[in-house]
Amino acid sequence: MSTAATATITSPLPSQPKPAPRIAAGTADFKRSNRAMFFGGFSCFALLYCVQPLMPLLSHEFALSAAQSSLALSISTAALAVSLVVSSAISERLGRKPLMVAAMAIAAVMTVLCAFAHNYHQLLAMRALLGVALGGMPAIAMAYLGEEIEPTSLGLSMGLYISGSAFGGMAGRGITSVLSDHFSWRLAVGIVGVAGILAAWEFWRSLPASRHFAPSNGGWRTLPAGFKLHLSDAGLPWMFALAFLLMGAFVSLYNYIAYRLLGAPFGLSQSLVGMVSFLYLLGIYSSVWAGKLADRFGRRHVLWAVMALMLTGLLLTLSNWLPLIIAGVALFTYGFFATHSVASSWVGRRALSNKALASALYLFFYYLGSSVVGSATGVMWERSGWPGVVMVLGASLGLGLLVALRLRSLAPLGAAEK
């Protein structure tokens, strides 16, 4: 046999390229991805909730009831809830980063345009379009983190993303409250929109490209199977229900606490009421803290405990002593972001395939709760005042706590889920 033939037979097969390692805590890419996701969370919450403290002003300018004024927020979250599922399917073909960048940019432009609305119907139309655009951000972000971040670092990374959301919610509410008190709500909304454009640019600049995303050619045909897979899971539907109850309670409290503090016996100014949003700073800490606890002790052991903090804080707001009310809102806010951090990262670990759809379903119910419970609680506010609001939200959180306790006995799908 010739030497050439022998060489052909004995030469080793070309080695397969090793898969790219996942992003781990302490690396440069981990810092870049977390910086990008912080800005993404900031932009999403700032653009979405900047109108929340303006609801009393919108009621006055457009002659609206509290429930009607709440539509400025509810119509956005409802459109977002529907758009999430569509966006998750699109991202399975186009990729994560391009869709998230486009979502942030379009939503920011829509927010700037809201400042020029001639009437309430135009404002609602642009807020609806904003919600549709933002559908390409939150679920895709959760899917990106689930695919790219090393499992033992996922809780921390998700917590940092949620902390960006907390900061965005605080900044959006704070900016619009102060500026609307001294200038106008239109200028306030326009400035938040410009901040959103800058956040979209930083997100695009910082986020590492996907390394573990595999495009799917199934498109819409994969959705029914994906729905069936996730909704037949022993744990995911309970997490979706928890998202509905959690966000419905959280948005409702911040929707109507402004009406209470602006009225008798407190009579606070719009700026002072807006300062309540600085309690979101607690969420920046609690989301990271809860993510670390969940990585260490397991989500099933942490979830019910942090949710109990929300219920305790809610009950404290029944007081007529302002410092105790603020303390209650603070504890409620701390517990909410901790609970959301734990639950959302659990969905990312529990879903073994089609993670974008699983995240989209979680956030679909999350924002649906914001719309349904947020507007329904407005009717209760008009009929029964703050005690009626607390009664509705207490019932929601009580049900949520039962769900969290049920999830304690959920069997893990593998070593990565605990």
Instruction: State the pLDDT confidence band at 219, using cuts at 50, 70 and 90.
Output: low
List Cβ neighbours of 13 (8 Å cut-off, separation of 6 or more): none
Residues 362-391: tens digit of each pLDDT: 888 888 888 888 878 888 888 899 999 999
Q: What is each CA distance from 140 to 94, 134, 361, 417, in whole angstroms? A: 11, 10, 11, 20
Burial class (CB in 10 A: 0-12, 13-18, 19+), 320: exposed
Distance, in Å, from the CA atom of 147 to the CA atom of 120, rounded to the nearest integer, reads 41
pLDDT at 107 (0 to 100): 95
Distance, in Å, from the CA atom of 154 to the CA atom of 294, rounded to the nearest integer, reads 10
Quick one: average pLDDT of 200-228? 78
Residues 123-140: tens digit of each pLDDT: 999 999 999 999 888 778
Quick one: average pLDDT of 262-289? 82
Which structural domains are found in the chain, ordered by start? 31-210+229-407 (1.20.1250.20)
Instruction: State the pLDDT confidence band at 1, using cuts at 50, 70 and 90.
Output: very low
Residues of the chain by 3-state class (helix, strand, coil), percent to 5 = 80, 0, 20
Residues 64-101: tens digit of each pLDDT: 888 888 889 889 988 988 888 788 777 777 778 889 99
- DSSP secondary structure code for residue 149 in this structure: B
DSSP string for 265-276: TT---HHHHHGG
